[in-house]
Structure formats: C-alpha cells, structure tokens
Amino acid sequence: MIDVYLSGVIGTTGAEPLDAVLDLVSALLLVLGGFLSLAAAIGLMRFPDALARLHAATKPQILGLIAIVVAIALSVRSWQALLLLIPVVVLQVLTAPISAHMVGRAGYRTGTYNPDGLTADELAPDLDDAQRVFVEPAPELGGRRLPSDDDQARSRRDDEGRGAL
C-alpha cells in the first residue's frame, strides 16, 4: 500500500516533468544537429570553389554529431549508453581532420581555389623549390661528380620543402 502510494507520488510529480524536459532538450539538440547539417548543405550550394565548400562541410561532422550524440544520451538516460556513444565522437574527431587534410591538399595542388582569397600562401615557395629538383636532368651514368657543399645544402633544403607538401 505504501509502495503504491510512494511510486504514485514519484511517478506523477517527480519523474514525468523531468522526462518531458529531457525529451524537449533532446529534440532541441536534434534540431541543432539538423540546422548545422543544413548549413553545410547551403554552404555546398553557394560557396564558389572546393576549398571553400570543404570549410562548410566540416560543420555537421563534429558539432552536429556531438549534438546528436548528446541527444541520444539524454533520450536513453543510462551510463552504458553514454559509454557506447563516446567511441563515435572519438573516431569522428580523429578521422575527420585527416580526410579534410587530404581533400584540401588535392584541392590546392589541382588549383580548384581562388588565389585572390588567400592572405598568405606559405606552401607555394616550398612547392616551387621541390618542383625545380624534379625537372633537373639526372646525372649520366658513370659521369657522376661528387656532391659539393652547395649541392648538399640545396638537397637538405629541398627535403624540407618536400616534407611540407
């Protein structure tokens, strides 16, 4: 009898309003995720070149995903669920920059960007340096000369340049 009374009290005044609030917050976070996703889509439609579109595309990948994951955790309300969801965010945070870097690298090297929009281009001198070595004629077989100090210094600098690619 007392149990029924207590559970009734807890059920009507304690838990249900909290449940409703958590559901509402969860729904709000879903809308935030959807909004960030739509922002990326609008950026994809309106931005002029691949590198600018890349910038827009990263919005839902991290913040949108975190919003959705928090929404799931608020909706399910268990620590186990939270433990299951952490790897999703961790994996995404680890891998999204790598793919963005590769796309940005390819975008720079194929020239699918507007150079007027750049404030600084630190890669161009290094690329020029590295390119110059690639078109130099290879030494003839048998006719090799010993590398001078100047050559060694240049090759060191070229290695650094190539490392920056």
Site residues (CB under 8 A) for another protein? 20, 23-24, 26-31, 33-35, 37-38, 40-42, 44-45, 50, 53-54, 57, 60-61, 64-65, 68-69, 71-72, 74-76, 80-81, 84-85, 87-89, 91-92, 95-96, 98-99, 102-103, 105-107, 109-112, 134-138
- Quick one: 113 or 157, whose CB is closer to another protein? 113
Smallest gap from Cβ 158 to another protein, in A, equals 13
Residue with tokens 């994951």: 69
Find the helix packing angle between 149-163 and 123-135, rounded to 10°: 130
Smallest gap from Cβ 3 to another protein, in A, equals 26
Q: What is the DSSP letter of 65?
A: H
Find the helix packing angle between 50-59 and 79-110, rounded to 10°: 170
- Quick one: 6 or 44, whose CB is closer to another protein? 44
User: Taking the alpha carbons of 147, 152, 154, 156 in that order, is the dihedral positive or negative?
Assistant: positive
One-letter amino acid at 31 equals V
- Quick one: 6 or 147, whose CB is closer to another protein? 147
